[in-house]
Amino acid sequence: MVKKLKFSLLVFTSLAATIFLASTSLYAASKKITITGSTTVLPIAQRAAEAYMDIHKDISISVRGGGSGVGIAALIDGRADIADASRPIKTKELKTAREKGINPYANIVAKDGIAVVVHPDNPVNVLSLEELKKIYTGEITSWKEVGGLSKPIVVISRDFASGTFEVFKKLVLGGAKVKDRALMLASNKAVATTVTTTPDAIGYIGLGYLSDNVKALKINEVMPTNETVNDDSYKLARPLFMYTNGKPKGLIKSFIDFVLSLEGQKIIEEAGFVPVK
């Protein structure tokens, strides 16, 4: 009888320990958020995550870049809770997601303008959308053709995983191909840095990456600013997304709500982007 009692107690203790460890694991998992994707949205996500963790000391948020395509793929594969994206999800991505039981939900957290930038010493101040298209497709190859010096244009673009590239391709190129000798870079920061160190370069970056080290050009006589993006007078404007699996709930909802709160939208504005609230 004593042996049976001891055995039952051992089984009960083991079962209780298993349940405790499982619940502890689930609790720990529920206290973590993984965010991956767009380098345009990256500074927003980083600053918002830091501010959120300052308030919620028991929460851990991991934020990585990689590009919009990388973030959406991570969400679809279950490797990210939130996918940052600077362009809408593609039809083929949505199809793949649903085949895997994932339901991407678009949370618009900010607006942005794609700023076309050159070296500060470049005398060119304005381009038309048509001139910009011709530069990127290779029809215009010298700055002299658009009112600048007689020097070859060094074309810098984002790479194919970039949501910024996808939007630029749609709004500027109309689906046309970027010239073969264009330098394709992986991030906004890489584009800004390369333009800074290359006097004859042209590139494009999100508003939050503008600095005195590059000069933003007027496009169709309109300068990219928060005001012109907000009133849609700047034609290279786009929404910024944080995609989730279904409508946000639980901890994910708490974080998204924070990003959309007055404090979160202030962070977005301080990062150089345009609030949506």
Residue 3 in tokens: 């042996």
Question: For position 161, what pLDDT does the model report?
Answer: 86
The C-alpha atoms of residue 32 and residue 214 are separated, in whole angstroms, by 37
Question: For position 181, what pLDDT does the model report?
Answer: 93
Q: Which domain holds residue 254?
A: 32-110+240-275
Question: For position 249, what pLDDT does the model report?
Answer: 97
Q: What is the DSSP string of 23-76?
A: HHHHHHHHTEEEEEE-TTTHHHHHHHHHHHHHH-TT-EEEEEEE-HHHHHHHHH
Question: For position 175, what pLDDT does the model report?
Answer: 85
The C-alpha atoms of residue 81 and residue 23 are separated, in whole angstroms, by 20
* CA-based nearest residue to 177, from 163, 197, 157, 192: 157
> Do 104 and 123 reside in the same domain of the chain?
no
Inside any domain, residue 224? yes
* CATH value at residue 71: 3.40.190.10
Backbone phi and psi for residue 235, each to the nearest 5 degrees, phi listed first: -80, -10
Backbone phi and psi for residue 228, each to the nearest 5 degrees, phi listed first: -75, -25
Tens-place pLDDT, residues 148-160: 999 999 999 999 8
Q: Which residues of the chain have pLDDT under 70?
A: 1-30
CB count, 10 Å around CB of 225? 17
* CA-based nearest residue to 109, from 41, 32, 55: 41
> Do 51 and 64 reside in the same domain of the chain?
yes
Tens-place pLDDT, residues 31-53: 999 999 999 999 999 999 999 99
The C-alpha atoms of residue 27 and residue 271 are separated, in whole angstroms, by 32
Inside any domain, residue 27? no
What pTM did the predictor assign?
0.84
Question: For position 30, what pLDDT does the model report?
Answer: 64
How many structural domains comprise the chain? Answer: 2
Question: For position 102, what pLDDT does the model report?
Answer: 98
> Do 89 and 132 reside in the same domain of the chain?
no
